[in-house]
């Protein structure tokens, strides 16, 4: 029984070392290549209808890869993506706010 324990210890050490070698993200600003969205430049769209053309315009002007339209009561994931622009609309599809995330 002791021989098997000694044989498994090196494998356990290698496994733990592999996990520790990967840095873990703990917060703070994203690296520039992951923080592409700039919602400040599209605030002029607040109060306007969220047409497909306007949504694409917001995506392009904000520098985002993805645009997400969030409707009232809609469930959305809470993961932060620096390359996504969130367009919040009301029941009449008027843009209420635009933010990154």
Q: What is the pLDDT of residues 25-72, one digit of tens each?
A: 566 665 555 568 999 999 999 999 999 999 999 999 999 999 999 999
Domain housing 50: 31-100
Query: In the chain, how many domains are there?
Result: 1
Report the chain's mean pLDDT, rounded to a whole number. Answer: 82
CATH number of the domain where residue 38 is located: 3.30.10.10
Domain presence at residue 92: yes
- Residue 10: per-residue pLDDT: 60
Strand-by-strand arrangement of the 84-89 sheet: 66-70, 84-89, 95-100
Mark residue 27 as left, alpha or beta (left: phi above 0; alpha: psi -120 to 50; beta: remaining): left
Domain presence at residue 67: yes
Query: Above 60 in pLDDT, residue 3?
Result: no
Domain presence at residue 68: yes
Among 3-12, 73-82, 90-99, which stretch is predicted with the lowest mean pLDDT?
3-12
Query: Above 60 in pLDDT, residue 18?
Result: no
């Amino acid at each position: 029984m002791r021989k098997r324990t000694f044989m498994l210890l090196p494998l356990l050490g290698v496994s733990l070392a592999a996990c520790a070698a990967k840095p873990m993200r703990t917060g703070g600003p994203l690296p520039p290549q992951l923080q592409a969205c700039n919602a400040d430049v599209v605030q002029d769209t607040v109060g306007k209808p969220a047409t497909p053309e306007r949504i694409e315009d917001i995506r392009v002007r904000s520098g985002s890869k993805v645009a997400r339209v969030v409707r009232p009561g809609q469930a959305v994931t809470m993961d932060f993506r620096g390359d996504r622009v969130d367009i919040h609309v009301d029941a009449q599809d008027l843009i209420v706010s635009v933010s990154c995330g």
